[in-house]
Amino acid sequence: MSELIRFGVSMEAELLDHFDHLITERGYKNRSEAIRDLIRNELVQEEWKKSDAEAVGTLTIIYNHHVRELTHVLTSVQHQYTKEIITTTHIHLDHDNCLEILALKGTTEKIRKIADQLIAMKGVKHGKLVMTTTGKSV
């Protein structure tokens, strides 16, 4: 971790008051941490605009494991991407529905492609990709 720098920020009393209220509600201990989080979030979004940036993503899918061949196909496809898929967590939600979470590492373009392919499968009811970071630059 690099050296800590301290700098001043000016703000109207009323705006600061609203901000303090919001971050207290969200559980922040101090303004610096809340501001750093806003900044990091902005930087991560920016990284994901570049298709060749090295990034981390997690894909959450909900699927019905009774759909014929789905479990088999999901496994096959995931095996094509062993370089990018770090791990897969599987949770049995109820008799029909499974929750599967994949941790992915690679270029933003590749991660998006894998996510699109898995979400498109018949039986996968819902899928969402979280675009996050390797943590190196934030």
Stretch 68-97 residues interacting with a copy of itself (CB under 8 A): 86-87, 89, 91, 93-94, 96-97
Half-sphere exposure of 65 (CA within 13 A, CB side): 14
Total chain residues near a copy of itself (CB under 8 A): 79
78/121 with CB nearer a copy of itself: 121
In the complex, what is the shortest distance from the CB of residue 52 to a copy of itself, in angstroms, rounded to a whole number?
A: 15
Binding mask 7-36 for a copy of itself (x = CB under 8 A): xxxxxxxxxx-xx--xx-xxxxx-xxxxxx
Residues 95-114 binding a copy of itself (CB under 8 A) are 96-97, 99, 101, 103, 105
Residues for the chain: how many in total? 138
| Binding residue for a copy of itself, selected from 50, 53, 60, 69, defined by CB under 8 A | 60
Q: How far is CA 96 from CA 56, 76, 124, in A?
A: 30, 21, 12
**Is residue 130 helix, strand or coil?**
strand
In the complex, what is the shortest distance from the CB of residue 26 to a copy of itself, in angstroms, rounded to a whole number?
A: 4
Residues 118-137 binding a copy of itself (CB under 8 A) are 119-122, 124-128, 130-137
Q: Which one-letter amino acid corresponds to residue 72? A: H
Segment holding 46, helix H or strand E: helix 31-47
For residue 23, give both structure tokens: 């971050």
In the complex, what is the shortest distance from the CB of residue 76 to a copy of itself, in angstroms, rounded to a whole number?
A: 13
Q: How far is CA 44 from CA 22, 30, 47, 84, 87, in A?
A: 22, 22, 5, 19, 22
46: contact with a copy of itself by CB under 8 A: yes
| Residue 58 β-bridge partners | 103, 130
